[in-house]
Amino acid sequence: MAEQLIRLTGVGKSYRKGREVVRVLDGISLEINKGDFVGLMGPSGSGKTTLLNLLGGLDKPTEGVVEVDGRAISALSPGALAKWRSGNIGFVFQFYNLLPVLTAARNVALPLLLTSLPASRRKQHVNTALRLVGLAERASHYPRELSGGQEQRVAIARAIVSDPPILLCDEPTGDLDRATADEIMALLQQLNRDYGKTIVMVTHDPRAASFAHRVLHLDKGELGAAPEATR
């Protein structure tokens, strides 16, 4: 049996808006194994991004526990959480979120600034990551000089450069055309299959979801099994 990596127990999240309390997630329990590739689907506003943020330690649940590798990250202080994130999670966003003032290589190098690696080793890691996403020859390009697909590849290189075990992707192909989306999905699949990355990916696109080992459905804050249509 595969090793368990992520476990959510009775996780709920609500936001307070003035006097009103908005309940976004309710009683979510979930287990994800090492090396798994999980798709997360659901209508807009159903809480997919919120759930992903809880997994990645960007946000804290109002109730319940988020454990990663046996560690309750929902209990960590902001400083400890930041450090934990830098070592364990790579994020990939829909709109890439590259810094416009930095070249591709420097964007990729950003997470390494938080490590104690010497400059030469950092450079090595950056080159490796860029080669892996097939953009080695674009290292000195600025984001504005890259296509959307290329930007997303750089973002993926940035997410994997410090070799975290988990990749969290929020609609990574949401802004790309079909062919480019397929390339990005192939890349994520490769990272999962050949490099053992555990991936949780939010998507609206059934085609993208088909790359996942299993797909979870979120509706009105509650987790359900996959409807027949997508499996």
Partner 1 sequence: MNRFTLVWRNLWRKPIRTVFTMLAVLVVFFLFTVLEGLRGALTLSDISDESQERLLTSHKLSLVMLLPVAYQSRIARLSGVEAVSHASWFAGRYQDNPEFAQYPVVAEEYLALNPEIRLSDAHRQAWLENRGGAIVGRPVATQYGWQVGDRVPIRSSIWTRANGSNVWEFEIEGIFDDIDGGVNAGVMLLHYDYFDEARAFSNGTVGWYVSKGDGSLPLEDLMAAIDAEFENSPTETKTNTEAAFAKEYAQQFGNIGLIVTLILTAVVFMILLVTGHTMAQSVRERIHEMGVLKTLGFTSGSIFRLTVLEGLLLVLPVGILAMALGWGGLAFLSGALGALFPAGLGIGTRSVLMGLALMLAISLGSVLPPVIRALRLDIIALLRTA
Ligand X SMILES: Nc1ncnc2c1ncn2[C@@H]1O[C@H](COP(=O)(O)OP(=O)(O)OP(=O)(O)O)[C@@H](O)[C@H]1O
Site of interaction with ligand X (CB under 6 A): 15, 17, 22, 24, 42, 44-50
Query: In the stretch 152-191, what mask flags binding to partner 1 with x, by CB under 8 A?
Result: ------x---------------------------------
Q: Which of 21, 22, 72, 82 is in the footprint of partner 1 by CB under 8 A? A: 82
Mention every residue, 6+ apart, whose C-beta is less than 8 A from residue 165.
Answer: 5, 34, 69, 88, 196, 197, 198
**66 or 112: CB nearest ligand X:** 66
Element (DSSP H or E) covering residue 82: helix 78-88
| CB closer to ligand X, 25 vs 184 | 25
Contact status: 86 vs partner 1 (CB under 8 A): yes
Closest CB to partner 1 among residues 122, 217: 122
3 state SS of 132: helix
What would the DSSP string read from start to end of 169-221?
EESTTTTS-HHHHHHHHHHHHHHHHHH--EEEEE-S-HHHHTTSSEEEEEETT
Tell me how far, at minimum, the Cβ of 156 lies from ligand X, in Å: 19
Does 102 sit near partner 1 (CB under 8 A)? yes
Name every residue whose Cβ is closer than 8 Å to that of residue 142 and which is 6 or more positions away in sequence. Answer: 100, 102, 103, 104
For residue 65, the tally of other CB atoms under 10 A from its CB is 15
Q: Which does 102 bind (CB under 5 to 8 A by kind): Mg ion, ligand X, partner 1, none?
A: partner 1
CB 90: neighbour CB atoms within 10 A? 26
What are the residues binding partner 1 (CB under 8 A)? Answer: 53, 56, 58-59, 78-79, 82-83, 85-87, 91, 97, 99-102, 105-106, 109-114, 119, 122, 126, 158
